Amino acid sequence: MTGCFRRSWVRPAVLVACICALSPALIAGDAAAWVDHQMDDLVALYTHFHQHPELSFQEEQTAERMAEELRAAGCDVTTNVGGHGVVGRLRNGDGPTLMLRSDLDALPVTEETGLPFASQVRAINEDGDNTGVMHACGHDVHMTNLIAVARYLSAHRDEWQGTVLLVGQPAEELGAGAQAMLEDGLFERFPRPDFAVALHVDSFVPAGMVGYRSGYSLANVDSCDITLKGRGGHGAFPQGCIDPIAQAAQLIVDLQTIVSREISALEPAVVTVGSIHGGTKHNVIPDTCHLQLTIRSYSPEVRKHLQEAIRRKALAIAQSFRAPEPVVEFDEGTPSLFNDERLTERLAPVLMEAVGEENVVRADRSMGGEDFSRYGAAGVPIMMYKLGSVTRERLSEYAALGRTPPSLHSSKYYPDIRLTLRTGVVSMTAIVRDLLPVRTP
Ligand code: ZN
Ligand code: ZN
């Protein structure tokens, strides 16, 4: 891709300790004790990922490290699946196939956490701009968790049976990496999963807790570009012009009536105009005005209705101005994330057993998006759950100040890594044990 950025890759001085060195008596059947024993090494691995973030579709070094770690954990590893995608296959006899997925990419955000290991990385984004880069969405946590789970499963083959696919997916933040991996044969070149599970950190759920939701969980995400056309000229003589800025002003207001007047109040939907660009000077009427929208929904029907209505409104306003037909373009976005109901209901008690009933919450629906949904849309039962990542103490401090804690994608977001990782590894290994049970002869 254009604007590909390369930088030096600093290897950590201390290699992660081999789990084989641990006493089996200490670790057998006790993921919490195992992960506590590994914690310093896992935090070092997390810190490494955090300090070396790479933008979407530029995850070359990140993928290399993932591949190396999965190989060291005993996986057969295939690289460059759909870009920088990594697939590690861990086989342990006959049985179902479970896919566990982490994302690899970071965001064009300049870190402001003040942490001693804060990212200093800068890169060139796809528009050619120089930007700070940060794991502001916790994908560094997801990667560390996935590697820890691979190590645990490799060291505890007596606790499960079947095949685990450990997938490092590129470009989640663009909503494009899952599609790229699927188009590159993820479900044909490797065993087609019977289930796929992923977690995502949450900045509002306390560390130590997890959240799950059956059914619709995250939204359809679509982008729309509208170019309103006119006839430019002198701002003092509008009668000889067709003003695209006046069209845009009316359209922005009119778009808001789609959700409020055309969609049932019981159906989630959002239309947001996030960008408007037109004109150069006080006294010049431009030829065009460009709007950029994000559109969110859950159901396919509402998604289709929103797109049709946006097109209709833009066309109607242009006609009312005697303007040329506007250009209205939709990017194929991310489909809504639907957690398979049977799988989720099966795994909810597993999560409760693993981390304690009091530490499991039913999550709210969100209008955010995640392209893990594409694996579900491709016919595999999926479940993505939330991993709390901020300690109760820190959440209480924010509450006392009457403020919400920094959200994901904020330059100030950071997880409380030890408790977060512990909960991630304990919950995900419990899920593997449940979905890939040992068969007694
Ligand atoms: Zn994100
Ligand atoms: Zn994310």
- Ligand 1 centre and the CA of 180: distance in Å? 18
Specify whether 178 is located in the same domain as 242: no
Contacts of 176 (CB under 8 A, 6+ apart): 56, 57, 371
Query: pTM here?
Result: 0.86
Specify whether 119 is located in the same domain as 252: no
- Ligand 1 centre and the CA of 260: distance in Å? 28
- Summarize pLDDT for 128-149 with one digit per residue, the tens: 889 999 999 999 999 999 999 9
- Mean pLDDT computed over 373-387: 97
Specify whether 122 is located in the same domain as 214: yes
Q: Which of 317, 332, 347 is the last residue of a domain?
A: 332
Specify whether 213 is located in the same domain as 225: no
What torsion do the CA atoms of 235, 241, 244, 250 make, to the nearest 10 degrees? 90
Specify whether 348 is located in the same domain as 366: yes
- Ligand 1 centre and the CA of 137: distance in Å? 5
Q: Where are the beta strands (DSSP E) in 41-187?
A: 76-81, 85-92, 97-103, 122-124, 130-132, 162-169
Specify whether 388 is located in the same domain as 244: no
Q: Which of 279, 301, 332 is the last residue of a domain?
A: 332
| CA 4 and chain centroid, separation | 21
Distance in angstroms (rounded) separating the CA atoms of residues 5 and 217: 34
- Ligand 2 centre and the CA of 320: distance in Å? 42
Specify whether 86 is located in the same domain as 235: no
Q: Any idea which of 7-16, 404-413, 421-430 has the lowest mean pLDDT? A: 7-16
Count of domains for the chain: 2
- Ligand 2 centre and the CA of 140: distance in Å? 10
Residue 332: its pLDDT value, please?
A: 72
> For residue 201, which ligand has an atom nearest its CA?
2
Q: Is residue 7 situated within a structural domain? A: no
Distance in angstroms (rounded) separating the CA atoms of residues 429 and 126: 37
- Ligand 2 centre and the CA of 414: distance in Å? 13
Q: Is residue 3 situated within a structural domain? A: no
Question: Which amino acid makes up residue 306?
Answer: L
DSSP 4-58: ------PPPSSPPPPGGGS-HHHHTT-HHHHHHHHHHHHHHHHHHHHHS--BTT-
Specify whether 325 is located in the same domain as 188: no
Asked whether 366 and 268 are in contact (CB, 8 A), the reply is no
- Number of C-alpha atoms within 13 angstroms, CB side, residue 407? 3
Q: Which of 332, 356, 376 is the last residue of a domain?
A: 332
Residue 8: its pLDDT value, please?
A: 29
**pLDDT of 363 higher than 50:** yes
Specify whether 26 is located in the same domain as 95: yes
CATH code at 301?
3.30.70.360
Q: Taken in order 116, 120, 125, 130, is the CA torsion positive or negative?
A: positive
Asked whether 269 and 306 are in contact (CB, 8 A), the reply is yes
Q: Taken in order 282, 284, 289, 290, is the CA torsion positive or negative?
A: negative
- Summarize pLDDT for 2-31 with one digit per residue, the tens: 223 222 222 333 333 333 333 333 333 489
Q: Is residue 108 situated within a structural domain? A: yes
- Ligand 1 centre and the CA of 402: distance in Å? 25
Asked whether 92 and 152 are in contact (CB, 8 A), the reply is no
- Ligand 2 centre and the CA of 138: distance in Å? 6
Specify whether 193 is located in the same domain as 48: yes
Report residue 410 as tokens: 């904020």
- Summarize pLDDT for 80-93 with one digit per residue, the tens: 999 999 999 999 99
Residue numbers of the domain that contains 313: 220-332
Ion ligand 2, residues whose Cβ is below 5 A away:
137
Rounded to the nearest integer, the mean pLDDT of the chain is 92
